[in-house]
Amino acid sequence: MKKRLYIIPGFGDQASQKSYRWIKEYAQEQAYEVVLVPIQWKRTTVNQWMEDFVSVLDEGTSSESVVLGFSFGALILMFASARFSFKKIIVCSLSPYFQEDIPQLPREALLPLGKRRVEAFRKRPFPVASKKAAAVFIIGDKDFSLAITRTKKAYKLWKYQKKITVLPSVGHTLNDPMYMKEIKKNLK
């Protein structure tokens, strides 16, 4: 069976953008079949984002698949990992928009998302991993402080094989060479 990699982009991004193309190209060199997950971001909430991911997920092969998510894509991945079995998940710069995080977020972090999205987040607590999967958590030490805190909490809560990497001098971007190196290492 061919290895499969799903790539879930960050908020407002498309998986076909340069930020994700290099991951796709590298993964294909490593013999992965790559699925770029098309998320419809406009006028939708986390509930629809999950549906977008599930619509491309081949549940019959998901237990042999690797899923990589960035920012809000990582948030989608965390919800999916409680529902589906994956071989490995790669959680990059996890966004802190779970039910438990909303009270700590500054107003400026919530306003651009709109009332419907924030209300949907308020109804979704951080999921407890119910399916076995190896998990890799990656975050830059220059990322948003609440994203760093959420990523570290997620790592501590993960029940199965796990690893966390905090990249020095890296912000909220996949295009940083340090991020690229770490992702490549975890796709081999």
- Would you state the pLDDT for residue 15? 87
* pTM to 2 decimal places: 0.95
Q: What is the pLDDT of residues 108-128, one digit of tens each?
A: 999 999 999 999 999 999 997
Q: What is the pLDDT of residues 124-157, one digit of tens each?
A: 999 977 678 999 999 999 999 999 999 999 999 9
- Split into its structural domains, the chain has a count of 1
Chain position carrying tokens 């009332």: 115
| More confidently predicted of 132 and 185 | 185
CA 115/CA 121 separation, integer angstroms: 10
Residues 6+ apart with CB under 8 A from 57: 6, 80, 84
On the question of pLDDT at 7 being above 70, the answer is: yes
Rounded percentage of the chain residues whose pLDDT exceeds 90? 88
- Report which of 92, 93, 94, 95 is spatially closest to residue 186, judged by C-alpha positions: 92
- Would you state the pLDDT for residue 129? 73
Retrieve residue 176's tokens: 């940083």
Q: What is the pLDDT of residues 19-58, one digit of tens each?
A: 899 999 999 999 999 999 999 999 999 999 999 999 999 8
Range of the domain at 52: 3-187
Retrieve residue 126's tokens: 């951080």
State how far the alpha carbon of 83 is from the alpha carbons of 11, 13, 57, 125, 157, in Å. Answer: 21, 24, 12, 14, 16
Residue 165 pairs in a beta bridge with 138
CATH of the domain at 179: 3.40.50.1820
Looking at every residue in the chain, the average pLDDT score rounds to 94
Residues 6+ apart with CB under 8 A from 128: 82, 157, 159
- Would you state the pLDDT for residue 1? 60
